Chains A and B, each alone.
Chain A
Amino acid sequence: MGAVGLIEKRVLLDASGVAQVLDRLATEVAGLVAHGPSAVIGIQTGGVHVARRILDRLAARGTPLPSVGTLDITLYRDDIGMTREQPQVRRTDIPFELSRTGVVLVDDVLFTGRTVRAALDALVDFGRPRFIRLAVLVDRGFREYPIQADCIGLRADTEPAERVQVELVETGAPADRVVVYERRA
């Protein structure tokens, strides 16, 4: 797959690698949501799919299920009005009382930390959560903001100019993979 203008450089995880990493991530998330009212909230769009995979695993294990939400951070970005075109706004859906709920935010790739910063601001507009933790499938480094994840599926060595993409079958990929791409010159 891969977007236009990108050349595939290396595969960080194949289908079985993705499954293993998700299993471990699900175990860690289960520990976070075990006590008191809890929720798993996926960040649009990649985080929503990873959150769904984690929740499927919790359901399969018979773990009591947390509330589920999706969060779009577009309206909280720090570069609105600085780009030629406005980014697309996607659905935010938090169909439960956020105050006094423990939240596990889920994203696919942790990079600069800007998305997570926006997500924290967006979440507190909905209420005052008991706590917020962060779970990511891949941490590729190069943070620009002081943000760290609590649960990390895979730590990857990458170059700043590279692009890390989590490809899942539900988004149209032929197989689950985590791939590093290089931007075509």
Chain B
Amino acid sequence: MPSMNHLLELEGVSREQVATILDLAREFKAVSQRRIKKVPTLRGITVVLFFIEPSTRTRLSFEVAAKRLSADTLSFTASSSSLSKGETLLDTARNLMAMKPDVVVLRHFASGACHFLARSIPAAIVNAGDGAHEHPTQGLLDMFTMREHKGSLDKLEVAVVGDIRHSRVARSNIQGLLTMGARVRVAGPRTMLPPMLDRLGVRVFDRIEPAIEGADVVMMLRIQKERMGNDLFPSDREYARVFGLDATRLGLAKPDAIVMHPGPMNRGVEITPDVADCGRSVILEQVENGVAVRMAVLYLLSAHLLEG
């Protein structure tokens, strides 16, 4: 199957390549459901988890994925790295190369940090979230989860609600979903909608109700207080009242619509606890599927790494 050199973004990744990853992830999900949840496939491959921005679940998910494939993992986090002592990203990365990693998984606060690293060091780079740019494995695991529930992504009506502007999750989902033939609507306060969003081919709403109406999938985004000032919306309570997903609003979607959230949730802000825990919520499945999708990505990136 067609391999990849890096996974930096979903923009520009072909429909065939996305389908390949999602099909492969289905087989890897089965590995996680076995008694021995481990295969020897990537023995000898070293994966560095280079997390400059704090993240627990994404790092753990990549770590579990690598370990289930028998790869070795090294973890570098912001607080433990020399970046906090003033070393540049490039110098830290060059030092990392002394450990001969085959794959580097990078989480960074700056958009484009992964592209920079891909040009600078001889390792396969996986973007685990770069600033407000993309988070491709999150997009893939979301599409995998939608496909498991809905069979196909083609013509699926997907509503993405919340802080679109600061959300790399939204960007990766929009890119991937449009590639796969889904129809995407986005909604959020005007202050959280980037300009010219409609040029991507999505429908833009400044109210939640019309975006959710008749949707197959309702994806709520986290309000990212760490990425925004205090002037984008007046208060949590007002945001919840105008843009939060509650049972009444969910009633506007198709009766079999699923509810998604990339986590961590702000319960009572973008989503009410009863909706987050209801039978149509697939939020915990997203976490489980993340491991399978990341196993598929690590597998595809490891072609010819042990050559010679």
Tell whether A89 is near chain B: CB-to-CB under 8 Å: yes
Interface: B78 (CB within 8 A): no
- Assembly CA distance A11 to B2 (angstroms): 33
CA separation between A60 and B45, bound complex, in Å? 49
User: Is residue A80 contacting chain B, with contact meaning CB distance below 8 A?
Assistant: yes
Q: Which of B28, B35, B305 counts the most A-chain CB atoms under 10 A from its CB? A: B35
Residue in contact with A86 in the complex, picked from B1, B27, B31, B34, CB distance below 8 Å: B1
CA distance A40 to B31 in the complex (A): 21
Q: How far is the CA of A93 from the CA of B172 in the complex (A)?
A: 33
Name A residues whose Cβ lies closer than 8 Å to a Cβ of B.
Answer: 72, 74-77, 80-92, 121-122, 125-127
Select A84's contact among B28, B45, B304, beta carbons within 8 Å: B304
Taking A80-B41, A81-B45, A86-B299 as contacts, is the C-beta distance between A126 and B35 under 8 angstroms? yes
The 9 closest A-B pairs by CB, nearest first: A81-B306, A75-B39, A75-B41, A86-B303, A125-B36, A89-B27, A81-B305, A85-B3, A88-B1
The B282-308 residues at the A interface (CB cut-off 8 A) are 299-300, 302-307
Residue B264 lies at the interface, judged by CB distance under 8 Å to chain A: no
A-B contact sample (15 more), CB < 8 A, given A75-B39, A89-B299, A92-B27 = A76-B39, A77-B41, A81-B42, A81-B302, A81-B303, A81-B306, A82-B306, A83-B307, A84-B304, A86-B1, A86-B3, A86-B300, A87-B1, A88-B1, A91-B27
A68 to chain B, nearest CB (A): 17
Contact A76 B41, beta carbon cutoff 8 Å:
yes
Give chain A nearest CB distance to B38 CB in angstroms: 8
Main secondary structure of the interface of B (DSSP, over half): loop
Q: A75-B40, A75-B41, A121-B40 are in contact. Are A84 and B35 (CB under 8 A)?
A: no
B30 on the A face (CB < 8 A):
yes
Which residues of B line the A interface, CB within 8 A? 1-3, 24, 27-28, 30-31, 34-36, 38-42, 44-45, 69, 299-300, 302-307
B265 to chain A, nearest CB (A): 33
Main SS at interface, chain A: loop
Contact A83 B27 (CB under 8 A): no
Measured between beta carbons, the chain A residues less than 8 angstroms from B304 are 81-84
Contact A82 B302 (CB under 8 A): no
Residues in chain B near residue A85, CB distance under 8 A: 1-3, 303
**B299: chain A residues within 8 A (beta carbon):** 86, 89
Q: Given A75-B40, A86-B3, does the pair A127, B27 have CB atoms closer than 8 Å? A: no
Q: What residues on B are CB-neighbors of A82 within 8 Å? A: 304, 306-307
Chain A residues with CB under 8 A of B69: 75
The residue from A80, A90, A92, A127 contacting B302, defined by CB atoms under 8 A apart: A80
Distance of A72 Cα from B41 Cα, bound (Å): 13
Q: Which residues of B contact A72 (CB under 8 A)?
A: 27
Query: How far, in whole Å, are A88 and B303 apart by their CA atoms in the complex?
Result: 12
Verify B306–A125 contact, CB threshold 8 A: no
In the assembled complex, the CB of B34 is this many whole angstroms from the nearest CB of chain A, namely: 7
Q: In the complex, A91→B23 CA distance in Å?
A: 10
Q: Report yes or no: B34 in contact with A126, Cβ–Cβ below 8 A.
A: yes
